[in-house]
Structure 1
Amino acid sequence: SEAGITADCFVFLNVPDEVLVERVVGRRTDPETGKIYHMTFSPPDDEEVLARLEQRSDDTEEKVKVRLEQFHTNVAAVKGSYEDISIDIDGTQKPDTVAESIRVALQEKL
């Protein structure tokens, strides 16, 4: 608010930590194309692509858990301050369903 900006709504995507860890740890990037794959949910069909995939150095289980601890600390402060304008969405659903849930919730809230 000091900058003259106020939020109309905060959207929180609720996903259990173990699901987030699985999503992040399985993520790989093709350095040639920049395309992102997931080793469980969307692996590449091409063996050549599979062989060149890279994992980000901070996408290890240990580092993700540290980031999640920091996130939970920070989000608790935000949620407490903006409870009256926050929306909680189940982030474990399919991406299209999550997007539709957000759209509907925003229409109802705003």
Structure 2
Amino acid sequence: MDVIRSRRRTLAATDPDGYETLELLPSAQISTEEEVERKIERERILKAVATLPPPQRQVIMMAYFEGYTQSEMSELLKQPLGTVKTRVRLAMQKLRLVIEGDVHD
């Protein structure tokens, strides 16, 4: 399990050619306004994720914030792959409703 986690951290920090992702980002091209918008959007998403039931929140965090595949989550959580897929699908449906509701308010 630790091997998978360490591999995920490495993959998240580098691209396929081995360059660090942060080095590839043109930081000077991102305006302060864009940074603020990204921060606000991230906060909205995290707030929406916090409304999910714990099992759904867990798979969303693992998939989208930690980079695990559904197969890896199934193995790590000792849950059938179908259960993991269902939790991700239900969580995404709920997130869509919550986020769309925020936009329309």
Whether the TM-score (by the shorter chain) exceeds 0.5 is no
From the two aligned structures, give the one with the greater strand fraction: 1
Normalized per residue, the structure richer in helix is: 2
Provide TM-score, normalisation by structure 2.
Answer: 0.30
Structure 1 length as normaliser, TM-score?
0.29
Larger relative contact order (Cα-Cα within 8 Å, sequence gap ≥ 6): 1
Larger Rg: 1
